[in-house]
Chain A
Amino acid sequence: MVKEFLKDLDKAFENRIRLGIMSALMVNDQLDFNTLKDLLGVTDGNLASHLKSLEKSEYISFSKSFLERKPNTSYAATAKGKKAFRKHIGAIEKLLR
């Protein structure tokens, strides 16, 4: 009974920063690196490594462009990522009930 929804808890979101990245991308079509950095209050390296791990699980996608001749990377949640996030939240809510 208990175990049934525990499998919906996603290892990818056990980490606070990855959870934060995903929360922000759930309510924004896309966000760039610096906005995410300010929002979560983390260092460049730390954010980059967590972004990479979310990319690896195909939960987020990125697109590169140039803004005032500086490279700018924007991140967005994929359909797969959104689904996983909703499942994760659902599991937390059941757990807390």
Chain B
Amino acid sequence: MEKEKYLNDLSEIRKIMSRSARFISLSGLSGVSTGLIALAGALLAHQLVFRHHDYLVYEAMPVDLKNLSSLLLIALGTLLLSVVSALWFTGRKSRKEGQRVWDNQAKRLLINLLIPLTTGGILCLILLFKGYVGLVLPLTLIFYGLALVNGSHYTFSHIRYLGIAEILLGLVAFLFIDRSLYLWMLGFGVVQMIYGMLIQRKG
């Protein structure tokens, strides 16, 4: 009888701790959808721009306005679609679990993701306008990975491993810069989708 009460106490403590400290409504499907969107964006960039130009090198290249705007539009489109789909799936999961989407935990997670992401985003824009197109793809992987590691304190802790994987892929992409688009697709597309499917299956 006593024991039962204390067992209940322990499970209650665990429940409150995880619910109050971490944002756990992150949906696995958002990982899958953003992975697909990333692959589509990368393919489009390959077809329209990278196939015809040797931009993926260690030096600044003269990039004409047409290619620059294509790259920016594709990047912006990919980013917007990813954010919208991630929010949509996550919102759906939150509502299903009867949790408020926009609670303190979500806010904290978002702020901690956004600090590295914005830094990386601005840096990449600067490099892009200066012609260093090749450095941008590896850097986006690295900053995305750093953002995930940073955010992992406020959501599933295993998202840290996804972050580390993205950082490593980013470093490898720096090493093999002419292949960086493929490594980018591997990181933002394939690895992201696999991670999404894993947490989706865990529930």
Name which residue of chain A comes closest to B100, CB basis: A38
Of A23-31, A43-51, A52-60, A64-72, the one contacting chain B is A23-31
Name which residue of chain B comes closest to A27, CB basis: B21
Q: When chains A and B are docked, how far (Å) is the Cα of A32 from the Cα of B6? A: 27
Asked if B9 and A31 make an inter-chain contact with CB atoms under 8 angstroms apart, the answer reads no
State whether A39 and B6 are in contact (beta carbons under 8 Å apart), knowing that A16-B12, A19-B13, A20-B12 are contacts in the complex: no
Q: Is B17 an interface residue (CB 8 A)?
A: yes
Q: Is B76 an interface residue (CB 8 A)?
A: no
Asked if A39 and B20 make an inter-chain contact with CB atoms under 8 angstroms apart, the answer reads yes
Interface 0/1 of B1-45, CB less than 8 Å to A: 011001101101100110111000000000000000000000000
Q: Is A1 an interface residue (CB 8 A)?
A: no
Asked if A92 and B16 make an inter-chain contact with CB atoms under 8 angstroms apart, the answer reads no
Q: Is A40 an interface residue (CB 8 A)?
A: yes
Q: When chains A and B are docked, how far (Å) is the Cα of A9 from the Cα of B12? A: 17
Interface 0/1 of A75-97, CB less than 8 Å to B: 00000000000000100110110
Q: How many residues of A contact B (CB 8 A)?
A: 18
Interface 0/1 of B52-63, CB less than 8 Å to A: 000000000000
State whether A28 and B20 are in contact (beta carbons under 8 Å apart), knowing that A35-B104, A95-B3 are contacts in the complex: yes
12 pairs, CB–CB < 8 Å, chain A vs chain B: A20-B12, A23-B17, A24-B16, A24-B17, A24-B20, A26-B17, A27-B20, A27-B21, A39-B19, A39-B20, A93-B10, A95-B2
Instruction: Kindly list chain B residues whose C-beta atoms are within 8 Å of the C-beta of A89.
Output: 10, 13
Instruction: Kindly list chain B residues whose C-beta atoms are within 8 Å of the C-beta of A38.
Output: 100, 103
Name which residue of chain A comes closest to B16, CB basis: A23
Name the distance in Å between B111's Cβ and chain A's nearest Cβ: 14
Asked if A19 and B12 make an inter-chain contact with CB atoms under 8 angstroms apart, the answer reads yes
Asked if A23 and B3 make an inter-chain contact with CB atoms under 8 angstroms apart, the answer reads no
Instruction: Kindly list chain A residues whose C-beta atoms are within 8 Å of the C-beta of B16.
Output: 20, 23-24, 39-40
Q: Which 9 A-B pairs rank lowest in CB-CB distance, beginning with the nearest?
A: A27-B21, A24-B20, A23-B16, A23-B13, A92-B6, A27-B17, A20-B16, A23-B17, A24-B16
Instruction: Kindly list chain A residues whose C-beta atoms are within 8 Å of the C-beta of B19.
Output: 39
Name the distance in Å between A27's Cβ and chain B's nearest Cβ: 4
Name the distance in Å between B2's Cβ and chain A's nearest Cβ: 8
Instruction: Kindly list chain A residues whose C-beta atoms are within 8 Å of the C-beta of B12.
Output: 16, 19-20, 23
Q: When chains A and B are docked, how far (Å) is the Cα of A16 from the Cα of B7? A: 12
Given A20-B13, A20-B16, list of 20 further CB < 8 A pairs? A19-B13, A23-B12, A23-B13, A23-B16, A24-B17, A24-B20, A26-B17, A27-B20, A27-B21, A35-B20, A38-B103, A39-B16, A39-B19, A40-B16, A92-B6, A93-B10, A95-B6, A96-B6, A96-B7, A96-B10
